[in-house]
Structure 1
Amino acid sequence: MTTSDAAQNARSAQRWTIGVLAVFALLGAGFGSWLSRLPAVRDHLGASTLEMSVFGLTLALGSLTGLIFSGRTVTRLGPQLTLAIGIIGQAIAMPTAAALFWAHLPVAAAAFLALFGIMFATSDVAMNVSGAAAERALGKPRMPLFHAAYSLGSVSSMGLGALAEALKIPVPLHLSVLFVILAIGVLLALRVVPNVAHSGDAEQLPPTSVHTGPIQIVPQPAAPAESTGPAPRAYTPWRDPRILIIGLIAMSMSLAEGTASDWLPLALTDGRGFANETAALLLGAFFISMTATRVAGSWLLTRFGRVVVLRGGALLVILGVVLTILVPDTWASIAGAVLWGIGCAFGFPVGVSAAADNPRTAVRDVAAVSAIAYTAYLLGPMLIGFLGEHFGLLQAFWPIVVFAIIAFIFAGTAREPAATGADAR
């Protein structure tokens, strides 16, 4: 390869990275816009908490369905085409659901919420696959930055939702305009995102799914260094111990993130007597800490490596949650929220990067890790809520400590392929 070719490849990788970064931010804005208008939907329908929970569960089940089939979808269509179809599907499904809610047709609206969940989850896996590939092409860790962009998109859309609420803009109009803008933005960003599973690979990967049986794999003549030797004849990520352990690490930190998002304010108001606005501010501190840490993630991963970052994060989650549970002082709740947010920042993005280490199986492996992590993110907080009903929400946080300990113990599994012994610290 000539110097000019190398420079051109570097520029392409940089454009690819910027394109994926934009996709993460825009998809985050789409999901956050729905969350921002949930109170307005509830008020318009006069729905009970149970009814709103059913709508949330419908979206979650749609998301899980999309995750189950995401490996096959992304492998067959490629990440770029999957994202293009996914954002168009979201731009149809979400405004339609909002319009049906406004027409007092909740069953039909719930069906479109499920469709949105399918499209969103499939798009999420596709952007993580493309992000991991862009990271490999660039030769630098970027996955935490991608997830920081997603968080910033979500927070920004919630601010827009609050503005729309203040201006009395109907939810269907707000979401229709927003999703048209988001769809245009994603489609423009995809112009610099190649429709391949990983950099420099022109092979057509065999169709696969994260849940179907063994997939026959044809050995390739130019396998990367980290996948030398004959390819397995029947590969599925669900029988790969490394992928399952990486999924467990990502699941542990996703459970910590999802639980804080859903239950931290209520736990502080009920268990510590905080005012609603104070508890909301502490949740904001959690999100700001997590997002800022992800922005700094590239430097931290380059400096210390995955293993140290994951183990340090697990320790911070443990410390933050224990402070929140055991120490009733205000300073402890503030410190707990901040440490909790910093600690869980890397589990999912680093898990995705680690799952994509083998380019030949990256699509299936990323889909499997995503399915495990998102299952914990979507359903785990429901189990925490069940425990909270019986033992109190603060005491219900103890399982997070247990899973953080597990993540600490197994963090070495996510070590970079070219890591030296120093990385195992």
Structure 2
Amino acid sequence: MPRSFDNRFAVRWTSGVLVIFALLGFGFGSWLGRIPALRDHLGASTLEMSWFGLSLALGSLTGLVFSGRTVSWLGPRRTLVIGIIGQTLMLPAAATLFWVDATAPAIACLVVYGLMFGTSDVAMNVSGAGAERALGKPRMPLLHAAYSLGSVSAMGVSAISESAGIIVPVHLGATYALILIVSIFALPNLPRGNFEDSASESLPNVHTGPIPVTPATGGVPTPGARYSPWREPRILVIGLIAMSMALAEGTASDWLPLALADGRGFANESAALTLGVFFVSMTLVRIAGSWLLIRFGRVRVLRGGAILVIVGLVFVILVPFAWASVVGAVLWGVGCSLGFPVGISAAADNQATATRDVAAVSAIAYTAFLLGPMGIGFLGEHLGLLQAFWPLAAFSVFVFIMARAAREPRQGSGSTH
């Protein structure tokens, strides 16, 4: 196959999965942006709303647990086709059922939506890692920047919809109809099979069941033993690195405005604006992430990020001035921005087992997104939210110490680009 053809294929693949990242971010952000309107319509208490969130989290975790087998069986593209169609049906249906006070079936739809979303999230990360390999350049930070931009854009559209009096079922129905239409044009740019098949003609297809390996091969399939990423120390460490940075990101998203309002006396508007600064900082670094990784490498990027998170936390927790909280939010956002994308890239280093490895790392990391902030909230109830942020510093120290697990593979090791 000519090199120019390979490059065009890789560019189309990367562009297609970039659009999918933005679309899924836009869809989930649209749901988050309309939760206040849904709460007001239902007259639901905070506890009742937390049950809705737990239902979605339960579905997402179920999807994440089985995503390795699902994506290996169907391939990322077919998984995304099914997942996006499922989301298009389930979330507007849940909103409609909530709107007519059919709470039980609405929660059931929300669980299925979470399952479809969690599985699709892993599938797009698997495909993104494959596109990055085919292109031969770091692209995961840019893909996650697209997801962040999609989410932020959805918040703006949600605010406009709220002002215009558009009810939640209509808004989400129109949103997912648009996502489905755009996906029809983006998904054909992704290869049909697993990216192991598309990135190299020399490797066999990935099995739908466990991949056979022997310890002596370092993860290269051979007849005999049964491969599981959950028994691979390097994959587990990479998963914990991604989880640690995901926990820092998710905690800021859920608790930073409230912590600043309660602990620093910020007005609600100022606290929300500070969170916006956090997201902008994180997104800008993700846009520049490919250059940073080429220039400094994964290990130094991870260690530098861990240091910045710790310094940002010190500013936010200990320095009782508004300017320090804003500076801390910037450092915090910059520091945690590349941890998850780097973890996904590192998980895909072994081309023969990459689908299962990426799925495992994603599952570990997204567990932090879904459940970690709840733990921070529990600590905040007893210690105060600002003091509850200290465990994030401990996780950052772990990232600093263990960053070498994510280092780029040596040339000639069998898992290079």
Q: Same fold (TM over 0.5)?
A: yes
Q: Distance in 1 between matches of 2:164 and 2:58?
A: 33
Where do residues 275-290 of structure 1 align in structure 2 (5 Å cutoff)?
Answer: 275-290=267-282
Task: State the distance in 2 between where 1:24 and 1:90 align.
Answer: 14
Task: Return 5+ residue gaps in structure 2 as ranges.
Answer: 413-417
Q: C-alpha deviations, 1:213-265, integer Å up to 9, x for none?
A: xx25279xxxxx98668577221111100000000100100000000000000
> Shift of residue 203 of structure 1?
3.0
Partner of 1:125: 122
Letter in 1 for 2:200: G
Cα contact 2:20–2:186 (8 A) shared by 1: yes
Please show how residues 231-246 of structure 1 align to structure 2 within 5 Å: 233-246=225-238
Unaligned runs of 5+ in 1: 209-214, 220-224, 421-425
Aligned to 1:254: 246
SS in 1 for 2:91: helix
1:197 to 173, 190, 195: 195
State the shift of 1:197 in Å.
2.4
Q: Which residue pairs with 2:168 in the alignment?
A: 171
Equivalent residue letter for 2:36:
P
Q: CA separation of 1:181/1:229 partners in 2, compared to 1, >3 Å: closer, same or farther? A: closer
- SS of equivalent to 1:233: strand
Please tell me whether the aligned partners of residues 212 and 222 of structure 2 are also in contact (alpha carbons under 8 angstroms): no
The aligned residue for residue 81 of structure 1 is: 78
1:157 corresponds to = 154
**Mapped partners of 1:21, 1:259: distance in 2:** 25
Alignment TM-score, normalising by the size of structure 2: 0.95
Query: Cα distance 1:380–1:227, how it changes in 2: closer, same or farther (>3 A)?
Result: closer
Contact 2:315 2:328 (8 Å CA) reproduced: yes
Q: Secondary structure at the match of 2:323?
A: helix
* Corresponding letter in the other structure for 1:320: G
Contact 1:255 1:381 in 2 (8 A): yes
**1:194 partner SS:** coil
Q: Give the whole-Å Cα distance in 2 for the aligned partners of 1:294 and 1:367.
A: 21
Give the structure 2 partner of residue 207 of structure 1: 208
C-alpha distance 306-232 of structure 1, shift in aligned 2 (>3 A): farther
CA distance in 2, matches of 1:228, 1:117: 33
Q: Count the aligned residue pairs.
A: 406
Q: TM-score normalised to the size of structure 1?
A: 0.93
Asked whether 1:114 is paired with 2:111, we answer yes
SS of residue in 2 equivalent to 1:104: coil
Equivalent residue in structure 2 for 1:358, among 334, 350, 360: 350
Measure the CA separation in 1 of the matches of 2:224 and 2:365.
Answer: 25
Match for residue 269 of structure 1 among 261, 264, 273: 261
Shift of 1:419: 7.0
Aligned partner of residue 408 in structure 2, secondary structure: coil
Tell me which of 182, 186, 189 is aligned to 2:183: 186
Aligned pairs (5 A) from 1:311-390? 311-390=303-382
Distance 1:226 1:218, change over 3 A: closer
**Cα separation, partners in 2 of 1:264 and 1:218, compared to 1, 3 Å:** closer
Residue type matched to 1:296 in 2?
A
- Of 21, 24, 32, the match for 1:24: 21
Q: SS at the partner of 1:37?
A: helix
CA distance in 2, matches of 1:15, 1:59: 33
Task: Report the alpha carbon displacement of residue 106 of structure 1 after superposing the two structures with TM.
Answer: 1.4
Q: Quick one: structure 1 residues 227 and 244, their matched pair in 2 at CA, closer, same or farther if it must change by over 3 Å? A: closer
Q: How does 1:18-57 map to 2 (within 5 A)?
A: 18-57=15-54
Q: C-alpha deviations, 1:155-212, integer Å up to 9, x for none?
A: 001110100000000110111111011011122101111022231257331124xxxx
| 8 A contact 1:132–1:143 mirrored in 2 | yes
> Is the 2:211–2:221 Cα contact (8 Å) retained in structure 1?
no
Among 285, 290, 293, the residue aligned to 1:293: 285
Equivalent residue of 2:44, what SS? Answer: coil
Contact 1:226 1:417 in 2 (8 A): no
Q: Which secondary structure state, in structure 2, belongs to the residue aligned with residue 217 of structure 1?
A: strand
- 3-state DSSP of counterpart to 1:416: coil
CA contact (8 A) 2:220 2:353 kept: no
Picking from 11, 17, 20, the partner of 1:14 is: 11
Distance 1:325 1:43 in 2: 33
Paired amino acid for 2:392: I
- SS of residue paired to 1:127: helix
- Aligned counterparts of 2:319 and 2:222: Cα–Cα separation in 1: 55
CA distance in 2, matches of 1:76, 1:409: 36
Give, as a single letter, the amino acid of the residue that structure 2 aligns with 1:137.
A
Runs of 4+ in 1 over 3 A off after TM superposition: 225-232
Aligned partner of 1:222 in structure 2 is none
1:352-386 deviation digits (Å, cap 9, x = unpaired): 00000001111111111001000011100000000
Counterpart-to-counterpart distance in 2, 1:46 and 1:315: 43
User: SS of the residue aligned with 2:195?
Assistant: coil
Q: Answer whether contact 1:351 1:414 (CA < 8 A) is retained.
A: yes
Q: CA RMSD, aligned part only?
A: 1.6
**How far apart are 1:418 and its partner, in Å?**
2.4
Question: Could you list the per-position Cα deviations for residues 101-150 of structure 1 after superposition, in whole angstroms to 9, with x for gaps in the alignment?
Answer: 00111121111111110000100000000000000000000000000000
CA distance in 2, matches of 1:283, 1:418: 39
- 1:82-114, Cα deviation, whole Å (9 max, x unpaired): 001100000000000000000111121111111
Q: What is the aligned partner in structure 1 of residue 415 from structure 2?
A: none
Q: Which amino acid aligns with 2:231?
A: R
